[in-house]
Amino acid sequence: MVRTHGSHVQLRKATPAGVHRVTVPAHKVLAKGTLSDILSRVGQWNGITKEDLLDRL
């Protein structure tokens, strides 16, 4: 976790492709579209599909 701002958390991860950041709401429940977008980005940064990422969770 890099920082928090209000009800959002900024996360950072270094990969061979560079440093990636994603801001996510710090809510108990996320909208389906928001979660899908976050998973797609994380999968893309790690060179795997969203479905493969879900299998690893």
Structural domain tally of the chain?
1
Q: Residue 18's pLDDT is what?
A: 87
Domain of residue 43 covers 3-56
Instruction: Residue 40: name the closest of 19, 16, 24 by CA.
Output: 24
- Average pLDDT (6-20) is 87
Q: Is the pLDDT of residue 1 over 90?
A: no
pLDDT band at 10 (very low <50, low <70, confident <90, very high): very high
Q: Is the pLDDT of residue 15 over 90?
A: no
Q: Residue 29's pLDDT is what?
A: 92
- Average pLDDT (23-51) is 90
Contacts of 22 (CB under 8 A, 6+ apart): 10, 11, 38, 41, 42
Paired tokens of 3: 């920082």
Strands 18-25 and 3-5: unpaired
- Average pLDDT value over all residues in the chain: 89
